[in-house]
Structure 1
Amino acid sequence: MSNKATDTLDRAMGALIGGALGDALGMPTQLLSPARIAAVYGHVEDFVAPFADHPVSKGLVAGTITDDTEQALLLGRILIESGERFDHTRWVNALLDWEREVKARGSYDLLGPSTKRAIDAINNGTPAEEAGRSGDTNGAAMRIAPVGIMMPLAPLDALVAKVAETCRATHNTSIAIASASAVAAAISSGVAGSDWRAACQQAIAAAELGTALGNWVTGGDIAARIGWAQALVRGKGMKEAIRLITDLVGTGVASQESVPAAFAVLEVAEGDPWQAAVISANLGGDTDTIGAIAAGMAGACTGFSKLPQQHIARLVGIDIAEVRALAGDLVAARLAKAGSGKDAAA
């Protein structure tokens, strides 16, 4: 394997495992306020177990991944199995099978509202292409990393079109597609060799393209909100940045809150994946998803080899060897799409 291919694989693994770190660190703090997080856990800087009556994470052990990571890995496998044309039916069936497994584990409340609503609609006979017409939350953005790994950054409209294709069943709205496109482009840019600042510029360009796709719904412009959120926290310390993100950007499941929040976290962390995970875990709100997105983007820009290996070893619910095999398949598909194997870094 060439040095370029080795680095590409390292960054692909950085995206997937960085996302898992952010997901697991935010698992016990999700849906809580910053004040409640501080009262129960103090300042979260390591994996902790949720308290006994946690609204969604009760019973999970410290370091456990959630639906954010599980759905990302599931999407990655469907992308590889689909070949050139995304297999919409296979993806819907995989989501339905996954949903049944999650229910069997007693974790149905971990599903995001748009995904849950779309799956319920499909179960009740709604055509898959119609089920996602109102999905405007962050479920598409949280699992989109494999698309960013597989799709070269150029041409950008092809990457955004692939994002939109994967959004159709659950998040077929302008705001969700723009959000997922931003995250996918940042990851693709990182995998191609970019640093986090350059990746953020590509994210904004992709969000501008993505907003023209899908069913139009009301909400703030994602590209503009990403740039605004990053400027808002630039140069601020962690404590002040957390307050600004929580009070002004918002940390709810709405795409126009959590996705710009993740980019703001990336700004405060200055591209450091573990710091991105830590900041996200202390925000309150949808901490696991914001952490998965922010640390995943950061991981793509740094690579797996620079992630904290001592924390990776303590992740629960993920097989690193299986992730490495998936990352290898996604990178192979990426290099094939790029033709000669040369990729466009930006």
Structure 2
Amino acid sequence: MDRAADRLDRALGALMGVAIGDALGMPAQTFPRDRITAIYGRITDFVAPCPDHPVSHGLGAGMVTDDTEQTLLLADLLIRDGGTLDHRAWANALIGWERDVRARGLRDLLGPSSKRALESLLSGVPATETGRQGTTNGAAMRIAPVAIATPADDVAALCASVARACLVTHNTREAIAAAAAVAMVISQGIDGADFETGLPGALAAARLGATHGAAVGEGDMAGRIEQALHLARTGNEASLAGTIGTSVASRDSVACAFGVVRLAGADPWQTAVIAANIGDDTDTIGAIACAMAGACAGLAGFPAEKRKQVMETNHLDLAPVARGLLDLRDGRGKGGAG
């Protein structure tokens, strides 16, 4: 496989990872580990959520949630606008997305940080102020398009791109540092790095990312990720979940996602399986972890039949998205040199 084909395969692996991790974790989201086991046994394939699930009610086996839909929404805006991100357009896109979700009779709506920030923006609060309390994982869950579109060789530039994407909803050191670490793994993966090789860069991005945004939330996201990685080397799923946590807070779920990838030996499908059973925010942990694993392994890391099921069930066409984001990476997007 030549370099261009390999980069496309890895970009597709990242986007497919978001979708597969999201869909496999969807039935278990919000449930503690013991309840997941009681209801589903061990999740090893796409299954429908239990009847009257508090969030996933109305979805079927293999269907994606807000994680994938918002990721692709951000990707479309980036491609359309040549890599820039108009904050009001992004806010309106997210609000329109939630309106559509409600119209479909679904319950997986905007997260607390995004909802609060968007309401503030539309009421007249400047975009530089609206996200200054957002510490949840919404920024990291949808950061893959920024990572694919941004080279990894300049950590400052990558962190600045991440911070711009976080500004409206998650403009805090915790959220930006977490999203920057995830983005650095994915971006390095696009250029051929494996997960373990990409970790020093990810930790550097987390440290630099923490200098952006409001000084709110976790001040040492890099330390949290290192702790999760250590637990993954010395412990198991239960110790990782119990010590790090699996809540919507970036300090918990994003750090946990790094540990999940290491627990799986960076195998993308096994990453999805572990994430689906880890507890609480399983779909988002899965989306984040599998985006990293998929970028570092490419599409072949996910079984062909699972890719086919998710693509067909959700009517996804990821190749044009991946190509458009890689054009931005190479300066060939709207207004670029090419």
Determine if the alignment matches structure 1 residue 72 to structure 2 residue 71: yes
Contact 1:24 1:65 in 2 (8 A): yes
Match of 1:207 in 2: 206
Question: Following the alignment from structure 2 to structure 1, what is the Cα–Cα distance between the partners of residues 267 and 300?
Answer: 13
- Quote how far apart the aligned CAs of 1:107 are: 2.8
**Match in the other structure for 1:260:** 255
Q: Distance in 2 between matches of 1:247 and 1:84?
A: 39
The 1:68–1:317 alpha-carbon spacing in structure 2 relative to 1, beyond 3 Å, is farther
- Give me the whole-angstrom Cα distance separating, in 2, the residues matched to 1:47 and 1:143: 21
Using the alignment, how far apart are the partners of 1:265 and 1:220 within structure 2? Answer: 22
**Does 298-307 or 162-171 show the bigger shift?**
298-307
Q: Deviations over 1:196-230 (max 9, x none)?
A: 10122211110010000001113251111111111
Q: Secondary structure at the match of 1:213?
A: coil
CA deviation vs aligned residue, 1:289-338 (integer Å, no higher than 9, x gap):
000000110000011133211111211653343x110100111221238x
Where does residue 341 of structure 1 map in the other structure?
A: none
**Whole-Å separation in 2 of the counterparts to 1:293 and 1:95:** 19
1:229-286, Cα deviation, whole Å (9 max, x unpaired): 11112054xxxx1111221000000000000100000110111111001001101110
CA contact (8 A) 1:276 1:291 kept: yes
2:314 counterpart residue number: 318
Distance 1:291 1:298 in 2: 10
Decide which moves more: 105-114 or 268-277: 105-114
Letter paired with 1:318: N
How far apart, CA to CA, are the structure 2 residues paired with 1:277 and 1:78?
27
- The alpha-carbon distance between structure 1 residues 107 and 8, as it changes in their structure 2 partners (threshold 3 A), is same
Q: In structure 2, give the amino acid aligned to 1:114.
A: S
- Once the two structures are overlaid, the 10-residue window that deviates more, 300-309 or 257-266, is 300-309
Deviations 1:41-96 (A, max 9, x none): 00110011111121101121011100001111111111112225332232122112
Q: Could you tell me whether the CA contact under 8 Å between 2:132 and 2:216 is conserved in 1?
A: no
> Hey, what does 2:187 align to over in structure 1?
188
Q: Which runs of 5 or more residues in structure 1 are unaligned?
A: 338-346
| Matches of 1:186 and 1:214, distance apart in 2 | 21
User: More displaced, 293-302 or 213-222?
Assistant: 213-222
Structure 1 residue 106 corresponds to structure 2 residue 109: no
Distance 1:267 1:45, change over 3 A: same
Please say if 1:271 is aligned against 2:270.
no
| TM-score in terms of structure 2 length | 0.94
User: Could you tell me how far 1:34 is from its partner in structure 2?
Assistant: 0.7
For 1:199 and 1:57, the matched residues in 2 are separated by: 33
Q: Is the 8 A contact 2:173 2:215 kept in 1?
A: yes
User: One-letter code of the match for 1:292?
Assistant: A
Bigger mean CA offset, 213-222 vs 292-301: 213-222
| Alignment match, 2:117 | 118
Amino acid at match of 1:319: H
Q: Using the alignment, how far apart are the partners of 1:185 and 1:89 within structure 2?
A: 26
**Residue 157 (structure 2) pairs with residue 158 (structure 1):** yes
Distance in 2 separating the partners of 1:135 and 1:100: 21
Question: Counterpart in 2 of 1:173?
Answer: 172
Q: Work out the percentage of aligned pairs sharing the same amino acid.
A: 51
Q: Deviations over 1:142-173 (max 9, x none)?
A: 00001110100011110110000010110011
When residues 306 and 276 of structure 1 are mapped into structure 2, their CA distance, relative to the original with a 3 A threshold, is: closer
CA RMSD of aligned residues (A): 1.5
Match in the other structure for 1:343: none
Pair 1:59 & 2:55 matched: no
The residue type paired with residue 248 of structure 1 is T
Partner of 2:239: 244
Q: Report the secondary structure of 1:313's partner residue.
A: helix
Instruction: Please name the residue that 1:308 is paired with.
Output: 303
Provide the secondary structure at the position in 2 that maps to 1:314.
Answer: helix
Which residue identity lines up with residue 286 of structure 1 in the other structure?
D
1:12 to partner: Cα distance: 0.1
Aligned to 1:327: 322
